Amino acid sequence: MLCSIRANSNEKVFALTSDKSHGPFLCPKCRQEVVIRKGKIKIHHFAHKPPAMCSHGKGETEAHRNCKMSIYSALKTKPNVQALELEKDFGPVVADVYCLIDNVPVAIEVQRSNLSVNNITQRSEEYSKLGIYVLWIGLHDSTVKKQIDNKQCSPKAWEKWCHAAYFGRVYYWYQEDLLLPVHFAAHKLYVKESEWYDPDGNHQSAGGYERFSKRYKTPVATSLLSIANSFKAIPKSAWQQGTVSIPNCRLYVDRLRKWW
């Protein structure tokens, strides 16, 4: 977690601008004491003292914290962004970054490793009840880069969910408020041609054609999009296909036409 409550003043403070001497600090969720971690390289943050039962800040990696902080800092400079807050607590959900973009309430949620599709579904429903449009994003890490370069990927459950919810795109955070939209196109596999003679001496052949892979997709990326300037609010009705189930929700979706 990048923010905590300063016990002495009861105000929300940033790890970046806090010092050990300002402590004690409390977790905004469970009100247990948290410790400040200020490394030379790592993003400054707060952490529960173990053992902690509270899930606030759990499963966050350095990359995740860096992403949140960078989005927050970038949005701070945009004239059409108001009410910007990092780790905004709405009770049932804490938004990684929350703000009004051209007066539309938006929650930006960065995917973290321990978040299941059930969690994503529930959180999206909660935001919808609050009248907030949610933007789920993944991290543009070495795995994603490699998949785009190799033109082959096997989407994870959360990626399938986002792809279905966001009309055929998944957003990966690139830098500042810039996201890389990626579409998962059908992936063709070539079935090699082979010939042989059966025991009766008849000529047989097979293969020599392409088929669609059930497991793999071809990721197709397009140009970077700015969170502050390239998206619009869309209410989405509940929808189901195969194993993917999308609830009634409010989504923040890009304005691009299909690029694939």
Stretch touching Zn ion by CB under 5 A, among 53-61, 85-93, 154-162, 197-205: 53-61
Residue 7 as a binder of Zn ion (CB under 5 A): the answer is no
Residue 100 as a binder of Zn ion (CB under 5 A): the answer is no
Q: Which of 27, 106, 108, 137 binds Zn ion (CB under 5 A)?
A: 27
Compute CA distances 185 → 148, 153, 188, 209, 244, whole Å.
12, 10, 9, 19, 17
Q: Which of 16, 30, 35, 189 binds Zn ion (CB under 5 A)?
A: 30
Q: Which residue has tokens 């990966």?
A: 172
Residue 16 as a binder of Zn ion (CB under 5 A): the answer is no
Report in angstroms how near the CB of residue 122 gets to Zn ion at its nearest: 19
Q: How many residues bind Zn ion (CB under 5 A)?
A: 5
Report in angstroms how near the CB of residue 130 gets to Zn ion at its nearest: 21
C-alpha span between 122 and 157 (Å, rounded): 15
Stretch touching Zn ion by CB under 5 A, among 21-29, 137-145, 175-183, 240-248: 21-29
Residue 54 as a binder of Zn ion (CB under 5 A): the answer is yes
**C-alpha angle 60/84/77, rounded to 5°?**
100
Report in angstroms how near the CB of residue 58 gets to Zn ion at its nearest: 9
Q: Helix count (H) and strand count (E) of the chain?
A: 4, 19
Chain contacts with Zn ion (rule: CB under 5 A): 27, 29-30, 54, 56
